[in-house]
Structure 1
Amino acid sequence: MELRVPPLPRDRRLRRIRFSGVGRVAQPGFQEFVGPILAPYDLKGVGLLTYRYIDPAKPDASFLYLPVLRRVRRLSTAQRSDAILGTDADPDSFWGYAGHIAWMAWRFLGEKEMLGVMHGEHYPIQQCPGAADFMFCDAWEKRRVYVIEGRSRLSQYAYGKRILYIDKQAWVVTYEDIYDQAGELWKVWIDDHQFRDRAFPGATTYPEEQDFYAGLLMLDMQLEHATYVPHPGADPPGHEGWHFNRGPNARTDASPSGSIPEMFSIASLVARGN
């Protein structure tokens, strides 16, 4: 995975962060590993490990490994709303919304029609040219979405509310509007979904369509700053990017043993970051 962090619109500097990948398993409860970061050097080895429990009253256990300090930092549930790694993105915003459902108060606001990317054509995704290079250019289509409002039950949570736009057919987030505690629009999250049975011709073919989630954009509307994440990146070419239900066969350079339970541990978090 590559993470691009370009300020906009005045400062055109571009910082690239490369991840080795993302892993998820559903036993017990839910476990997710993001990382380790491969570049730039000052962030090399950083990784995030999350445990989510079946008991909805039990908060997430999230651990961030910082190799420069040789320390593992545990994040509270509220801290999952804090932007990490010098980006505009916070762990609870991953995939449009990755927070604990039970720790939010939800309200259904209705349905609407919006443009969204559900069958993207560029894999890896392509940056738009010129001043819009913080955004991805792809095939947009009209989609019916559910509009859901979420407010955190935690007083220390960074955001006042989230508005999720969830595709009615695919049940994935297409957009998210994030507001500050004063009720002002703060950030906007946009996803690039690509539903098909393979990443590209010649790649692993699945019996049914999968979401080859090709990337995202997080816009900080107040600071005029953006985080752009293509996945997979263009380097190395031909990388499938995602493995679905392949367990030990979901191998990457950083995870040669594949997606197995042993990789979702603090010991693995530290070992992969060193």
Structure 2
Amino acid sequence: MIRKLTIALAAAGLVGSALAATEADVENTFNPYKKGFPSVPGMSPGMVLNKGNVDQFKDALAVGIYKMIKDGYYEVKVGATTQFEMNKAYVEATRKNLNTAKLGPKNGDITGFVAGRPFPEEPDAKDPRAGEKLAWNYKYGVNWGDNAAIYPFFWKYRNMESGQLERTIKMNMHFLNFKHRVQDAPVPEVTPNPSDLFRAIYVKVLEPQDLKNTQLLIQRYDDDQKLDDAYLYLGFQRRVRRLATGQTTDAFLGSDLMIEDFEGYNGRVSDMKWAYKGTRNVLLPMWNHNDLKLTDEFKDDSGYKYVNFGGKGECFFDGTWQLRKVYVVEATPVNANHPVSKRVFYMDAQLGNLNGAVEVYDRKGELWKVWTVGKSHPDHHLPINKGSGIGIDDAFSMVDVQSKHCTTGQFKGQVDVKLNPASMFQVQYMRGGD
């Protein structure tokens, strides 16, 4: 009888996490460095990790990043670990709604969630659903906040072996939380919201001419069991078509990214089986944008300069990496026909993001792609981002280690509510976008 009860509790996600989260948990989740920053013997700010010394620091690196350095593709510059203070309204929402969120019986079920970080307690290896709770923390995390835009956004496609630049795409990318908003009016929800959407992403291509006005709209429902809606508008066809579910795992506009790769992971919690693999101190690409050596390549009217790229094939951003507390999370697709066998995320414990370092494995279980997004502290970026408490996505590198190809991204991220009207995230808007 006792064994049956234990199994039932485990299925409900209660074993190993029976104690309610406390105020101390809230403090610790948003300030994991209260007692000091992590350190690794021999590693210090200012040093460079290269193929000659990387073995000494292997335990402080994501598997994919270690491989890139060991193969001589990239050298990592170590910076000082800094506090990325979280959005105050989000922290307060976490405190106010402590212990209201509960997992349901199935993966992807949650009840009682209002706003903030749903599970601020430290993950417990004895809890069979610890990984799923971290996935919920990401889904309902700050990410870009209630609303923001990458305005504009440059993608480059490169042959990593030759360094040949094959294509540059200029686009705008917009984000809006319909529900669980914590700061920007309207709080807590954009209304009307008849479809009960949680969040949406809208993308519009500006250049080159053959792709101009291509648009993508992704609508995610608050009910995680409900499939996302995704729509594509092709300018030359002048019509909107709905994307089939499987198309979110196709190469997007011929790049090395799937739609599912956006923001580190752009899918439902219920699409994956989540496993917490432990807590480590790992280098992640996090910096102060204004302190970097930036490129003059793009002539922005405001004088803003973008992150520079270098390394093999110019596939790697030229930024500093910090030693951070991370949760290692493994996601395995529920769908056996998925092109990926698993993703491994190194989740920043403070920010709750999944995109600092990601490894994508093919169906055979071999490393396929290494996915990194560098973040800037908001107080050392554009003036409009100062004080936002949001880690600003600043540059990305998606390296296909099998085909020796890469797609890179350079961001001008702006936490600006005016750039993201709710009307933009509806199908009708796409039809009027010419």
1:22 to 169, 174, 182: 174
> How far apart are the structure 1 equivalents of 2:374 and 2:410?
9
> How far apart are the structure 2 equivalents of 1:206 and 1:136?
23
Give the TM-score taking structure 2 as reference length. 0.55
Counting strand residues as a fraction of each chain, which structure ranks higher? 1
**Matched residue SS, 2:370:** strand
> How far apart are the structure 1 equivalents of 2:348 and 2:281?
10
Task: Name the larger-Rg structure.
Answer: 2
1:243 is aligned to 2:424: no
- Mind listing any 5+ residue stretches in structure 2 that lack a counterpart? 1-152, 180-195, 293-304
1:262 is aligned to 2:430: no
- Per-residue displacement from partner, 1:244-264 (whole Å, max 9, x unpaired)? 4x2xx23xxxxxxxx122111
1:172 to 353, 362, 381: 353
Matched AA of 1:134: C
- Per-residue displacement from partner, 1:130-169 (whole Å, max 9, x unpaired)? x451111012111121111111112332211111110111
1:7 is aligned to 2:159: yes
- Mind listing any 5+ residue stretches in structure 1 that lack a counterpart? 233-240, 251-258
Match of 1:163 in 2: 344
Match of 2:73 in 1: none
In the alignment, is the contact (CA less than 8 A) between 1:128 and 1:136 conserved in 2? yes
Q: CA 1:51/1:137 → structure 2, altered by over 3 Å: closer, same or farther?
A: same
> How far apart are the structure 2 equivalents of 1:163 and 1:13?
29
Task: Give the root-mean-square deviation of aligned CA atoms.
Answer: 1.9
1:42 to 197, 206, 210: 210
> How far apart are the structure 1 equivalents of 2:385 and 2:154?
24
1:227 is aligned to 2:227: no
Q: CA 1:57/1:209 → structure 2, altered by over 3 Å: closer, same or farther?
A: closer
- Per-residue displacement from partner, 1:76-122 (whole Å, max 9, x unpaired)? 33321221101001111111111111111111111222211222434
> How far apart are the structure 1 equivalents of 2:395 and 2:385?
21
- Please list, as runs of the form range in 1=range in 2, the aligned pairs for 1:131-150 lying within 5 A after superposition: 131-150=312-331
Match of 1:182 in 2: 364
Deviation at 1:38, TM superposition (A): 0.7
Deviation at 1:11, TM superposition (A): 5.0
> How far apart are the structure 1 equivalents of 2:287 and 2:246?
34
Give the TM-score taking structure 1 as reference length. 0.85
In the alignment, is the contact (CA less than 8 A) between 2:248 and 2:260 conserved in 1? yes
In the alignment, is the contact (CA less than 8 A) between 1:179 and 1:187 conserved in 2? yes
> How far apart are the structure 2 equivalents of 1:147 and 1:159?
18
In the alignment, is the contact (CA less than 8 A) between 1:47 and 1:65 conserved in 2? yes
State the percentage of identical aligned residues: 28
Match of 2:201 in 1: 33
Match of 1:63 in 2: 231
Deviation at 1:223, TM superposition (A): 0.8
Deviation at 1:207, TM superposition (A): 3.8
**Matched residue SS, 2:340:** coil
Counting helix residues as a fraction of each chain, which structure ranks higher? 2
Deviation at 1:171, TM superposition (A): 1.0
Q: CA 1:11/1:205 → structure 2, altered by over 3 Å: closer, same or farther?
A: closer
Q: CA 1:209/1:197 → structure 2, altered by over 3 Å: closer, same or farther?
A: farther
How many correspondences in the alignment?
251
In the alignment, is the contact (CA less than 8 A) between 1:25 and 1:261 conserved in 2? no
- Per-residue displacement from partner, 1:38-79 (whole Å, max 9, x unpaired)? 111111111111111122221111111111222323223332
1:88 to 256, 260, 282: 256
In the alignment, is the contact (CA less than 8 A) between 2:206 and 2:212 conserved in 1? yes
Runs of 4+ displaced beyond 4 Å: none
1:119 is aligned to 2:291: no
Match of 1:204 in 2: 384
> How far apart are the structure 2 equivalents of 1:32 and 1:205?
21
